[in-house]
Every structure is written in C-alpha cells, then in structure tokens.
Homo-oligomer: A and B are copies of this chain.
Amino acid sequence: MAENFDIIVIGGGPGGVAAAIRGVQLGAKVALVEGTHWGGFCLNRACVPTKLFSATVDRTKAIQTAAKMGFSKAEAAVDPAAVFKMKDELVGYFSMGTEGLVKAKGVTPIKGKGRLAGPGRVAVGETVYPAKAVIVAVGAQWVRPSFPGADLEGVVNSSEFLEEGKIPARSLILGAGSWAMELAQFLGVCGSQVVVAARGRGILPDFDQEIGQRLRGALKNDPLTILNSCQVVSIAGDQDGLSAVLSVKGKEETRQFDRVIYFDRQPALSGLGLDTVGLEDLGVDEHLATKAPGLWAVGDAVGKQPFLSHRSSAMGIIAAENALGAKRIFNPDIVPRVAYTNPQAASVGLSEDQAEEAGYDVLAGTAAIAASPMAMIQGVSSGVVKVVGEKKYGELLGVHIVAPFATEIIGAAALAIQMEATLEDLARSALPHPTIAESLSDAAREALGWAIYIP
C-alpha cells in the first residue's frame, strides 16, 4: 500500500485546490490528484480565457463609442490571433502558478487521473492510496448534443473552439446562457456572423426574467442574431460548410455555418468508481457529505447548475473543514451568478418569481440605469438594478443587475444576503456617488416606498 493521507482530494480545479490548501492549514496531510491541467476547467478553459475575450469586447466597445465620448480619433481592430496567444500565455502562467501555490502551501500533488477504489481508497494508475477522508472535485465533462449531425467535425464544444484558436466566418451558438452570450459577443466583435439559438423565450435562463430582457435590450445594436424558441433539427456538411436546419418558434429554416458551438456539461462521474463505495450519484447534504462515510464532494461534480468556480472554492473550503470534524453548512443562496457580457449581468439570491413561488409577500424595487449619473458618464443607458425582498421582516432575498461593473458590484449584495441584511439596511447605506453601485440603495428604497432619486 502506498503513502497514507488524512485527506485525498481528486481534481485540481477551484474546488479541489481550495479544499486541499484548507486541509493543510488545519493540520492535515493532504494529497491533491490532478490528471491534466492544474487549475481545472475554470482556469484553463473557462473563467480565465473567456473573460479575456469579454475584456476584449469591453475594450472594443470603449473604442467604438469613443467618438461620441469626447475623442477626435479612436480606432482599433481586434487581432484574434493575438488574443488567443495572450490567452495561452495567461493560462500557462496561472496553471503554473496554481501548481506552485499548491506545493508552497504543503499539499502533496499526485499527477494522474484519480478514481475511488473502495472506502478510504483512491487509485491513481496502479497505485492505491489510503486516506481517512476523500473529497471528490472532479468537475464536469462535455455533453455532445443529440441531433443528427452532432458528430460532424465542425460541431465543437467551447473547449475545442478555444483549442482551434480561430474565428469562424459564421457561428451558431447553441443556448443563450452566460457562457454562450459572452462568446457570441466576442465572435461578433471579431467579425464572425453569429446566430444564437436560444432554447427558451428569452436569454440568460439562469437569471431573473427581467435581467435577460434588459440585457437583450442592451444588445440590440450588437452584430448578433438571437433566435428564440429555437432548436437544432439536424446539421449536415456540404460544400458550403455546415447546413443547419433550425426549428424557430415551430417553423423550420435552414442556415449555413462554419462552426456550431455547444456548452452543455454534466458531472464527470464516468470512471470515477462510485460503485466501489456503493454510490450511484454524488448527491451531498448541506455539509457536503455524500451518503458514503468519509466521502465528500464539491463543485461541478455535484451537479447543481449553473457551474461557477467561486461556488466550487467556497464548497472546497467547507468540505475540508467538515472532513476534519467541523459541521459547517454550505449556503448556496450567497453564491452570485455572473455573465461577463457587455453590459455585464449578475445576480444573487431569489428572483422575483422564485420569491413568489416560495410564498413570500414580495417587495421588489428597481432603479433604471438610464437615471444613473455614472452610467451617463460612461455613455451607457441600458440596464437595471433590481432588489427583491419580503414584507414581513423586510429581509433582502435577491439582487439582480444588468449594468457596467455588475460582476464587481454583486459582491455587495451577496455579502448583504450572507449577513441577513434587510431592505432598510441597503436603503440606509452610504454607497459612493457617483457609482453604479449606489443604485442598490435607491432600488431598496423604492421597494420600501421611499425612493429618493427615482421620480
């Protein structure tokens, strides 16, 4: 039998790295098993690379709108090859940094694909390591769509698109979630003709309905076609690329593309050896414990959408603590959802619909970005800050934003919900003027019936 550990963490993404480091900090001997890239999907294929694309969109728009904002000359052309090169450099730097961090913190890295090999046992290749506790943080894997033609070479997932490193002349984006919309905008500023096939009636299905509507309004001048209630019937290769038959609101139409990009993922449970510990899935309780003794699970492997790396890290910290005897509870309600579109969208807690379904007597307030001095200073007029609370105790239940800097601002709302703030607390804060963030206070005041700056 190989070296013995207090905790073995399987998977070196955001959840696994946080869990392993936290374990060492609490005095445990911890191994972290990673087969391919340190930093996982987030660092290598998602958060870091795609947010670089989003920053490129932001910069392009800052340049494109400069002529209206006091500049006599402002020109720029995105060089996609240079962006892909930067992406490779950044990812390489952070992945190396993650490996270095893990080692510097005293975690034992084990290179290879880890799998469960019975209770308290993790196998890597031929070696079986015993551990008092095991934390599974293996993330998710791609799910290829099922329509005829989904196996054609030009039908790629977003990781494959990243590896190709080329802008298709005509792109079909499957779905209208945050990753899909971010990539659609990037492809648009790079000159691709982009069609977004949204399954439902709106975009950003994971967000409050008003958020998707507002973002869509803000995108009306973007070089994008969004088709709602749209599904792919079939795709065939022909001399002009990929011929896609789409069902749009029940009517079929055919369009030509060079790449079809999909984004669906599911927990990466294949080959994990769940059967060796008597499990069929990786469901966890509020302490992040699975039904198998000594086995914990965090992050995308647990399978609660949307996949978010900060959710994984927060879970990783708690799982390590609980694996060492604590009884901490993971609260999913304080985890923000973010879309690095332009403008950005961000959300935390309950939507207005969810709050009503949960039986709350809902108080909602909105502050339109069109009335925000900072938005006008930025030359932006579309967006909203929406606050959802309830009447009985005045509790803040959710915050939903479409606005510049939304991903940075939502942290204030997430902390407020974590601290069990009331609408009154938010209404009485002294957020700086002029900012987009200050709209949080007036939206809360509007919910309470005493907005100051909303007529």
Contacts and interface: CB of A to CB of B under 8 A. Distances in A.
Contacts of A418: 425, 428-429
Contact of A433 (B55, B69, B309, B405): B309
A429 B412 contact: no
A166 B356 CA distance: 55
A367 B455 CA distance: 41
B62 A71 contact: no
A433 B78 contact: no
Contacts of A440: 411
A358 interface: no
Given A62-B62, A407-B435, A48 B373 contact: yes
A280 to B, nearest CB: 28
A336 B86 contact: no
A142 B416 CA distance: 39
A95 to B, nearest CB: 11
Interface string A144-162: 0000000000000000000
B430 A310 contact: yes
Given A377-B55, A409-B411, A411-B438, A431 B310 contact: yes
A59 B71 contact: yes
A75 interface: yes
Contacts of A71: 59-60, 76-79, 82
Contacts of A432: 308, 310, 336, 338, 346, 407, 410-411, 414
A373 to B, nearest CB: 6
Contact of A405 (B72, B405, B438, B450): B405
Nearest to A418: B429
Nearest to A417: B429
Interface string A22-61: 1001000000000000000011000110011001100110
B72 A433 contact: no
A311 interface: yes
A433 B42 CA distance: 9
Contacts of A334: 429-430
Contact of A310 (B60, B317, B433, B436): B433
A171 to B, nearest CB: 19
B421 A452 contact: no
A452 B419 contact: no
B25 A450 contact: yes
A63 B338 CA distance: 26
A290 interface: no
The residue among A51, A436, A440, A452 with the most chain B CB atoms within 10 A of its own CB is A452
Nearest to A371: B97
A188 to B, nearest CB: 15
A263 interface: no
A447 to B, nearest CB: 14
A434 interface: yes
A434 B63 contact: no
A90 interface: yes
A70 interface: yes
A412 to B, nearest CB: 4
Given A25-B450, A415-B429, A435 B408 contact: yes
A76 B76 CA distance: 9
Contacts of A116: none
Contacts of A75: 73-76
A83 B101 contact: no
The residue among A338, A373, A415 with the most chain B CB atoms within 10 A of its own CB is A415
Given A335-B430, A414-B429, 18 more contacts: A42-B433, A59-B62, A62-B62, A69-B86, A70-B78, A70-B79, A90-B376, A101-B455, A104-B455, A310-B433, A313-B430, A346-B432, A408-B408, A409-B409, A411-B431, A411-B432, A411-B435, A412-B414
14 contacts: A47-B433, A51-B374, A52-B377, A59-B62, A63-B76, A70-B79, A71-B82, A75-B75, A75-B76, A94-B376, A101-B453, A308-B432, A313-B433, A338-B432
